[in-house]
A and B are shown apart, each in its own frame.
Chain A
Amino acid sequence: MVILEMEKISQEFGGLRAVDGVNLQINEKEIFGVIGPNGAGKTTLFNIITGIYIPIEGNLIFKGQKINRKAPCDIARLGIGRTFQNIRLFNKLSVLDNVRVGCHGVTRSGFWSGMLGLSGNRKEEKLIRERSMELLAMVGLADKLDEYADNLSYGEQRRLEIARALALEPALLLLDEPGAGMNPLEKEELMGLIYQIRDERQLTIILVEHDMNLVMNICERIAVLNYGRKIAEGTPNEVKNNEKVIQSYLGVGA
């Protein structure tokens, strides 16, 4: 079943077509890769999906619902979680609080019940805490609960971002270069983590990544962007042997 559909999505920045008529269909529970040279429009595509940019053309349909005019917070609440290429954690909040904030979209407690400490609020807080701890244990940060997020190592910060995105209980998870800045061992673990997330939580993952080893290993289907256009789509093997992709991105002999 298709969970996310993009129809002729286009985006312009001052006359520059950053994304140009991209059509994509992402199936449920699939790990989908988006690759392409720098400036090809991969992150712009993510920003369009999450509502940070409103596309000038085209339709974005998530679970049968049109979402290309919704505010980012509403899109998040519908179940699209994401991480960022240039890590965006809440630096001066603790690791635990970062994940607790992530639960915001799926919890209800409001101003009064929080301020007055009503019983509904206390129950919810307990739940939030349990869930956050569970997620932190999953990404291997259970022993760093009280650390400030910006005291974590680079790899740990990337994993914390994933935990925060998962706290939203998304149906679709967008990972923007999750392996950037990780050493080979950490990348190994990351692959395991991505599989584990997909299998345990039954969610769909789209990832942007430059590490071909990681992408080719983990993704079931891949789309290749160049200058905002989709130049190829298919299984890793099909993409690897595509003439256009080799020319524009992978390079001869890759």
Chain B
Amino acid sequence: MDAFLAQNIDAYYLRIMIFIGINIILALGLNLITGVTGQLSMGHAGFMSIGAYTSAILSLQFGSPFFVAILGGALVAAFFGFLIGIPTLRLDGDYLAMVTIGFAEIIRVFFLNFEPGGKAVGLSGIPQHTTFVTVWIIVIVVIILNRQLLYSRVGRSLYAIRENEIAAESCGINTTRMKVLAFTVGSLLGGLGGGLYAHYMYYINPQDFGFMKSIEILNMVVLGGMGSIPGTIVGVVILTLAPEVLRIVAQYRLLFYGALLVILMIFRPNGLLGDVRIYDLKKRWGKKGEKTWSS
């Protein structure tokens, strides 16, 4: 399948599609934390790097099979998400954002000095196991499970925490536990994306996972629509394609990228699909709405 695609599709487009897939996994993780549960995390790249390094080291040093390496990276990232979630999720809003920035920086500096990770030089020669098919199979599984989760009792309680924490608590929701859960699962997806990234790029170094990477992922979630899976996917597609499409304006690329964000946020402050529901669309077009779930 991959060979067939490589023969018939331009390598450049294939590469972009793979990046879109990886970014969807990363962004869905952050969407769970920030979009759904409303906990502003600005250190998602930190979890991505934990996943990337763990899986790369598993592959290089222990010769683990690809899926073991990827899964290992995801689980280690989830474990750190859990560990960091317990003390920090008592904070909210700006304070949590600060703590997560700090945490991501700590991880970056740690890997800068981490002998088995090659210090500042990074790790190279990671086998390129991530292909179009593996990425998109994982993407589809992640989307389906994510959707199921958001429509379940636990998912609803996560939305409830975003909407009003005190009221959620009065409904019997253990908000601290739920927030830690969201943070853990979000970090798991961050680590998963990181592992896939490492096994696609051959080479990783700590600078790949800096603050700007966290912001880039956050942009995708906010742009597409907080808490909405289709929204997040749309945000990922737009922001992954934008730098490529904007190559025509050469060195003004980042300027246009910034302007695009500003304009979109002015006209769609809740994100492109943040407050769009099938119910509202049907009502608008004159048909009686069917039962749908918010977001």
Q: At the interface, yes or no: B287 with Cβ under 8 Å from chain A?
A: no
| Cβ contact within 8 Å between B279 and A101 | no
Q: Interface of chain B, helix or strand or loop or mixed?
A: helix
| Cβ contact within 8 Å between B152 and A121 | yes
| Cβ contact within 8 Å between A101 and B168 | yes
- Complex Cα distance, B169 from A92, in Å, reads 17
| Cβ contact within 8 Å between A90 and B164 | yes
- Complex Cα distance, B232 from A210, in Å, reads 46
- Complex Cα distance, B148 from A96, in Å, reads 18
Which among A5-13, A26-34, A108-116 touches the partner chain? A108-116
| Cβ contact within 8 Å between A114 and B153 | yes
- Complex Cα distance, B181 from A90, in Å, reads 20
Q: At the interface, yes or no: B157 with Cβ under 8 Å from chain A?
A: yes
Residues 111-154 of chain A: 1 if any B CB is under 8 Å from the residue's CB, otherwise 0? Answer: 10111110001001100100000000000000001101000000
For residue A31, give the distance in angstroms from its CB to the closest CB of chain B.
Answer: 20
- Complex Cα distance, B134 from A206, in Å, reads 58
What B residues does A106 contact at CB under 8 A?
172
Given contacts A109-B152, A114-B155, contact A89 B167 (CB under 8 A): yes
Q: At the interface, yes or no: B275 with Cβ under 8 Å from chain A?
A: yes
Given contacts A73-B173, A73-B175, A105-B171, contact A90 B291 (CB under 8 A): no
| Cβ contact within 8 Å between B154 and A114 | yes
| Cβ contact within 8 Å between A111 and B154 | yes
Which among A76-84, A183-191, A197-205, A230-238 touches the partner chain? A76-84
Q: How many residues of B contact A (CB 8 A)?
A: 34
**A93, A110, A111, A121: the one within 8 Å of B160 (CB):** A93
| Cβ contact within 8 Å between A97 and B167 | no
| Cβ contact within 8 Å between B172 and A76 | yes
What A residues does B293 contact at CB under 8 A?
94, 97
What B residues does A116 contact at CB under 8 A?
145, 148
Interchain pairs with CB closer than 8 A, number = 126
Given contacts A88-B167, A93-B159, contact A73 B172 (CB under 8 A): yes
Q: At the interface, yes or no: A107 with Cβ under 8 Å from chain B?
A: yes
- Complex Cα distance, B291 from A52, in Å, reads 35
For residue A204, give the distance in angstroms from its CB to the closest CB of chain B.
Answer: 17
| Cβ contact within 8 Å between B153 and A81 | no
For residue A148, give the distance in angstroms from its CB to the closest CB of chain B.
Answer: 7
**B157, B171, B294: the one within 8 Å of A164 (CB):** B171
- Complex Cα distance, B174 from A77, in Å, reads 10
**B166 closest partner in A (C-beta):** A88
**A116 closest partner in B (C-beta):** B148
Residues 5-42 of chain B: 1 if any A CB is under 8 Å from the residue's CB, otherwise 0? Answer: 00000000000000000000000000000000000000
List residues of chain A with CB under 8 Å of any chain B CB: 50, 52, 71-74, 76-77, 81-82, 84, 88-94, 96-97, 100-107, 109-111, 113-117, 121, 124-125, 128, 145-146, 148, 164-165, 167-168
List 5 A–B pairs whose Cβ atoms lie within 8 Å, in order of A's numbering: A94-B293, A94-B294, A101-B156, A101-B160, A107-B153
By Cβ-Cβ distance, the 5 closest A-B pairs, closest first, are: A105-B172, A114-B152, A90-B163, A88-B167, A76-B172
List residues of chain B with CB under 8 Å of any chain A CB: 145, 148-149, 151-157, 159-160, 163-164, 166-175, 181, 275, 277, 279, 289, 291-295
A92-B159, A101-B173 known; 20 new pairs, CB 8 Å cut-off, are A73-B174, A76-B169, A76-B172, A82-B170, A88-B166, A89-B163, A89-B167, A91-B163, A92-B275, A93-B160, A93-B163, A94-B279, A94-B293, A94-B294, A97-B159, A106-B172, A109-B153, A115-B145, A117-B152, A146-B277
